[in-house]
Structures are given as structure tokens and as C-alpha cells.
A = this chain, B = another copy of it.
Amino acid sequence: MTTGDQAAFRLLTSADSRPRAGVLRTAHGEVPTPAFMPVATQGTVKALGTDDLLALGARIVLSNTYHLNLRPGVRIIRRHGGLHGFMGWEGSLLTDSGGFQVYSLGLLRTLDDEGVTFKSHLDGSPQRLTPESALAIQEALGSDVAMALDVCPPAEAAQAELRRAVELTTAWAARCRAARARPEQLLFGIVQGGTDLALRRESAGAITGLGFDGYAIGGLSVGERKAQMYETVEAVAALLPADRPRYLMGVGSPEDLVEAVALGIDLFDCVLPTRMARNGGFYAPEGRLNIYNARFKEQTGPVEHGCECYTCRHHSAAYLHHLFQARELLAYHLATIHNLHFYLRLMERLRQSILDGTFEGLRRDFLATFKPPDEEVRRGQKQRWLALRKALSS
């Protein structure tokens, strides 16, 4: 038995093939998969308008229940007919359950069988989230896809903590499923278990046994090594039903997307392309370029030669270098457009190659060319981003 409409997901490849191509149908349109969901944490993809998202060809975005519930609050969003009306977005929307922020932002006070108590990052006020309230908030937001409330421990958590997280996640998934009141909203269950494959198997069995419209793999963007992540994704994906979409939460970098698509994943979200954009990191086939680099100061051509994004069609690398140096707001806008274009076009190319039977060649070529930034560069960019975030929120 499953919830929702069986036909919400249509697989275009054979049931036993991985990678997969499909179509996710929501109350707000069709989403060709595999798909990347830009992150609109507070009801806006940072530095972009919904007109920009449409121009980029985005079909689905993700918003964070945790943030929107605290500010502006569900009541005000409901008065706009839901989050679509509030944001002015007519495409599909997925909301997370709000649980992840509680764990990842270090706000947790207590975790009990009934739910989580935490403090608001805005004013420190005590807040409570239960499976039922997490679902009720998402129903009020009116998203097209809601996520069950899960428990997401850090990658380095002890075995006992991982086990309890899996058990609570299963119990809460059942309660979310029972509390569901809005049939047109798809509901996805989440598989937990860290990088412990036995626990993952147990979790996958329990969650798929409950029956959801789609299945997410949680807890894999929180510090584990890449090899472990891929191994876990491969093991879990093999346990999920072929006729339901598979969503790898919070992942990832371009090479992660290529590898996870190869393992049979359909949906992704990650703040990386938008966050890196505000930090001057531009994705290109050869890797992530740092626009602050002196070599861009005089480059009258685009950052990425041949790129067809708005930014590269209209502006030189030297202009972008200047805008970043001058801290002009347009810098963050133009860089975000470029990076989302890169991500969305990559997903389109992966999908087409799957349909054409040329995926392996594309994967090999991409990974041979794309050079992930080394640790030193990554740390430097993270520090610059933290400084910018601090400046903007001071």
C-alpha cells in the first residue's frame, strides 16, 4: 500500500536500470528527473527572483520549513494561499521537515519519543516540533512535496545514537503518514542509518514498508568521506522501489551529482552552487573558478567560454571580478545565475545521456575534466563566505 497517486512518478528507463530518467508530476507541473532543486531557504533563492528561476528553467525549488515557520510564520504565508503565493513561484516546491536545521544548527535541546525541543536561532525562544506538527506546517505551506520528520545524527555519531535515530525516524514516519490530510501533497519518507550499512538496510526496509510517494536518503551531507557516501548511496538505492523517486538530501557538488545519478538517484538539493556564487566561486567544466583570482582582472571574455547563461552571454570575467572587488550586489546575482545554470544544464545533459544510452561516456568525460577544489581552496572560500554572512547579518 502506498499513499498518494501511483502515477506521480513515471520512470522512462527500465525498472532495473541505473542511472534512471523519469518525470515527477506534482500539483504544480512536471519535473523531469534526475533534477537538482535550488534552495530557497527563506522563501527566495538567494539573490534571485522567481523570474530568474523561470529563465533558468528551474522546475522545482526547495524551501526550509524551519526558517519559514519562525519567520514570517505559517499564518502569514497561509494568508497568501501558501508558499507559492507568498514567493510568487508557480513551479513545484518541496519543503523539508524542519528537523535537519535543529540538528545541524546546534539548536537541539531535547530529543524524546514524541518530538524535538529546540531554541529559535532568531530569538532563542523554545520551539517544539513533532511528526504531526512538522506535517501540519508543511500542509499549511502548501508545498507539492512534504518530507516526514526524521532524526539526523552527525556522521561521527556512536552506534547507539545511530540506532535510536533509525528507530525514531521509523516511528515518526509512521505518524507522519497517519497524520496526512492533504492528498495532493506528496509525502516522502527518509532512510537514516549513517554509513552503517546494516542499519541502512533496516531503515530502508521499515520506511519502504510503510509506503511513501518517494524516498529520501538522509544524513549524508554531514561530514562523512565521499567514498563512504557513495557506498551508502549505492547500498540504499538498491533497496528502494524502482517506481518511486529517490532523493539524496543536501548533496552536493557537481561530481557528487554525477556519481549519485550513476547510482540511481533522481532528486538533489544543495546550497553549494548558490553559496559558492556569493563567495565568488564559479562552476565550469574544469572545476570551480575563483573570480577574485588576478587572472580574471583583465579577461574581456566570459568566465566560462561557450557558456550560454545570461551572465556569460552579457558580461566579461573582468566585469564580474570588478563587481566582486567592489562588493556590488549585482555580483552575487550574476554569479548565482551562472552556477545554477551550470547545475541545471548538467542535470539536463545527464538526463538526456541516460535516455540516449550515452551516460557512461558523459560521466567519464565529466569526471576526467572537472577538478574539485582542493581542501586549502575550500577552506579559504568557506572563511570568506562566513565573513560575508557575518557582515550581511550584523
Contact = CB atoms under 8 A, between A and B. Distances in A.
Interface stretch (A10-18, A230-238, A325-333): A325-333
Given A43-B322, A50-B314, A76-B298, A327 B393 contact: yes
A300 B316 CA distance: 40
A314 to B, nearest CB: 5
A334 B391 contact: no
A322 B46 CA distance: 13
A374 interface: no
A382 interface: no
How many copies the complex holds: the figure is: 2
Contact of A297 (B42, B76, B326): B76
A314 B54 CA distance: 14
B391 A42 contact: no
Given A76-B298, A316-B80, A318-B76, A71 B333 contact: no
A316 B81 CA distance: 12
A93 B358 CA distance: 50
Contact of A49 (B72, B316, B326, B333): B333
A394 B393 CA distance: 12
Interface in A341-394: 391-394
A88 B314 contact: yes
A329 B333 contact: yes
B330 A51 contact: no
Interface in A255-302: 297-298, 300
A329 B47 contact: yes
A6 B297 CA distance: 40
Nearest to A325: B71
Given A72-B322, A319-B88, A325-B71, A330 B393 contact: no
Interface in A297-317: 297-298, 300, 310, 314-316
Contacts of A206: none
A48 interface: yes
Given A44-B328, A319-B88, A79 B300 contact: yes
B319 A48 contact: no
A318 B80 contact: yes
Contacts of A48: 330
7 interchain residue pairs of minimum CB distance: A47-B329, A72-B322, A44-B330, A88-B314, A42-B326, A391-B391, A391-B394
Given A44-B323, A79-B318, A327-B392, 12 more contacts: A42-B323, A42-B328, A43-B323, A46-B329, A50-B314, A71-B325, A72-B322, A86-B318, A86-B322, A327-B393, A329-B329, A329-B332
